[in-house]
């Protein structure tokens, strides 16, 4: 037996180095290669949607965080992880159940020799009752409980960060859908404005043709453009209704009419993005925190697999009571048992070695996933910030261009009304203005959507300060 224990201990010590968790490489650049934002803390990343100052958007996100199935599902997974933690840790507490039994036997001898000796009667009523309380308690002298706690604490932390990540993604999805809806509302208003302008041109062309200073084909030409504008407005109206339905579904208000979602045909003021440093992602991004927690959970399981080579000691006390009675005989007894069990893996060591190697591989996968999560987070955040800056510049350029194109159209339209320019000149100016206006609207909506992406990429949407890092927790 001594040699078996020595073999297991040597195997455990030899494998200790194999189970050591590699330190993840989570180095990041000192700063983003993007323009500076507003000072850190100027925008509350926990509830970044408040920066848009839109009560409708805030209400939709709050409703989604409460009612959306994705949020509810993430909460259910968190509850499952909490229950699994209790189940895993109670394994190391004393285990035992009370058992009881009772039996009554009425025997009637039909033939043969009749015995009436006390305790050996062949006829009559006999009764037996028993109650037992058997306990088994694994005496944890090697730290299996600590290894198990490390694993399940990592699991529950990962579930909590998954929950927060699901909520952050949901808030971003609602905001993205909302700004798409506002973009459609702006396009619809533009299409209706285009139709109004085409009607004005149609009326002017008709009047000019009536007095003989323009060809009747001018009115026909404008009529075709008017039909296209009306058709575009009808299509955009349908798209806007569908987008409103998407918002209601995200907010958990599926049965409500789409008219209940108020969508303004304006972009509003674009909020700033707070200045941040890449290293903040390690505590701000819930997906990064989840990956870190999964490394801790995997490391705990590797520790537990190492300890499986060591002996298992179980303390097995028991209490018992029994009573048996027959005609002319009765006995009552009680018992108190103290005992223990000892298990030392020996022939199962090859199997345990394979399990440990497999767990070490899973731990390495968790480390790699953590490193990848950090790299992805940096790529997302820097990409969003750089693209957002480009979007802001694009909006500024198109705003100036749209103002100039509108001024040119108005001058051309005035000239056409006064007979100084032909229809083609007026139409060309109008089409140039509307094209620039459409590009401006698309750029403005894209800038708002990119702002949402930047907030999410920087780890916004959940109260990170309430949760310590895994290193701090340990």
Q: What is the DSSP string of 161-216?
A: HHHHHHHHHHHHHHHHHHHHHHHHHHHHHHHHHHHHHHHHHHHHHHHHHHTTSS-H
Tokens of 361: 């591989």
pLDDT in tens, the chain (474 residues): 455 445 555 555 544 544 577 888 888 888 888 777 666 667 788 999 999 999 999 999 999 999 999 999 999 999 999 999 998 888 888 888 999 999 988 878 776 666 566 656 667 788 889 999 999 888 888 999 999 999 999 999 999 999 999 999 999 999 999 999 999 999 888 888 778 777 777 777 777 667 666 666 666 677 777 788 788 889 989 999 999 999 999 999 999 999 999 998 887 888 888 888 888 888 889 999 999 999 999 999 999 999 999 999 999 899 999 888 877 778 898 989 888 888 999 999 999 999 999 999 999 999 999 999 999 999 999 999 999 999 999 999 988 988 888 888 788 878 866 777 766 677 677 778 888 888 888 899 999 999 999 999 999 898 877 766 655 555
Q: What is the pLDDT of residue 17?
A: 43
Instruction: Kindly write down the DSSP assignment for every residue of 280-298, as one continuous string.
Output: GHHHH-HHHHHHHHHHHHH
Structure-token pair, residue 129: 């009752």
Could you give the 3-state DSSP secondary structure of residue 421? coil
Name the token pair of 270: 């674009």
Rounded CA-CA distance 136/90 in Å is: 12
DSSP classification of residue 46 = G
Q: Where do we find the tokens 């950090």?
A: 374
- Please give, one letter per residue, the 3-state secondary structure of 437-462: HHHHHHHHHHHHHHHHHHHHHCCCCC
For the chain, give every domain's residue range.
Answer: 15-91+153-309+371-473
Token pair recorded at residue 262: 């108020």
Closest CA to 48 of 386, 446, 462, 383: 462
If you ran DSSP here, which 8-state letter would residue 21 be given? P
Residue with tokens 């073999």, as numbered in its chain: 7
Return the CATH number of 15-91+153-309+371-473, one of 1.10.3720.10, 3.40.50.1370, 1.20.120.450, 1.20.1600.10.
1.20.1600.10
């Amino acid at each position: 037996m001594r040699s078996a224990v020595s073999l297991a201990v040597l195997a455990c010590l030899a494998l200790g180095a194999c189970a050591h968790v590699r330190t993840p490489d989570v180095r990041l650049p000192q700063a983003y290669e993007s323009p500076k934002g507003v000072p850190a803390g100027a925008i509350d990343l926990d509830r970044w949607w408040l920066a848009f100052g839109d009560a409708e958007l805030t209400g939709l996100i709050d409703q989604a965080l409460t009612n959306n199935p994705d949020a509810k599902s993430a909460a259910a997974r968190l509850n499952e992880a909490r229950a699994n933690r209790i189940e895993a840790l109670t394994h190391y507490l004393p285990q035992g159940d009370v058992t009881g039994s009772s039996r009554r036997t009425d025997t009637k001898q039909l033939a043969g020799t009749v015995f009436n000796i006390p305790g050996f009667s062949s006829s009559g009523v006999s009764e037996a009752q028993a109650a037992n309380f058997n306990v088994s308690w694994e005496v944890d002298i090697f730290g299996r409980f600590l290894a198990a706690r490390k694993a399940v604490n990592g699991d529950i932390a990962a579930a909590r960060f998954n929950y927060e990540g699901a909520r952050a993604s949901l808030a971003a999805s609602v905001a993205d859908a909302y700004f798409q809806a506002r973009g459609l509302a702006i396009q619809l208003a533009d299409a209706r404005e285009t139709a109004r302008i085409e009607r004005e041109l149609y009326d002017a062309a008709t009047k000019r043709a009536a007095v003989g200073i323009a060809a009747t084909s001018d009115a026909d030409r404008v009529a075709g453009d008017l039909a296209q504008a009306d058709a575009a407005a009808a299509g955009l109206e349908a798209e806007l209704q569908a987008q409103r339905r998407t918002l209601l579904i995200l907010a958990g208000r599926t049965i409500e009419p789409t008219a209940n979602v108020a969508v303004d045909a304006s972009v509003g003021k674009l909020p700033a993005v707070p200045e941040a440093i890449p290293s903040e992602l390690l505590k701000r991004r819930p997906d990064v925190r989840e990956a870190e927690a999964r490394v801790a959970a995997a490391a705990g399981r590797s520790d537990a697999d190492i300890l499986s080579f060591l002996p298992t000691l179980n303390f097995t006390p028991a209490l018992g009571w029994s009573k048996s009675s027959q005609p002319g005989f009765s006995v009552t007894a009680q018992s108190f048992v103290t005992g223990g069990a000892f298990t030392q893996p020996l022939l199962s060591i090859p199997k345990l070695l394979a399990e440990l190697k497999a767990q070490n591989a899973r731990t390495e996968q968790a480390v790699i996933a953590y490193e990848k999560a950090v790299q992805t987070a940096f790529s997302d955040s820097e990409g969003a910030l750089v693209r957002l800056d480009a979007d802001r510049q694009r909006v500024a350029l198109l705003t100036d261009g749209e103002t100039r194109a509108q001024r040119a159209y108005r001058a051309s339209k005035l000239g056409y009304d006064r007979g100084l320019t032909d229809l083609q000149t007026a139409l060309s100016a109008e089409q140039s203005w509307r094209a620039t206006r459409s590009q401006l609207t698309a750029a403005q909506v894209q800038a708002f959507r990119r702002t949402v992406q930047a907030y999410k990429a920087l780890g916004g949407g959940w109260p990170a300060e309430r949760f310590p890092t895994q290193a701090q927790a340990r």
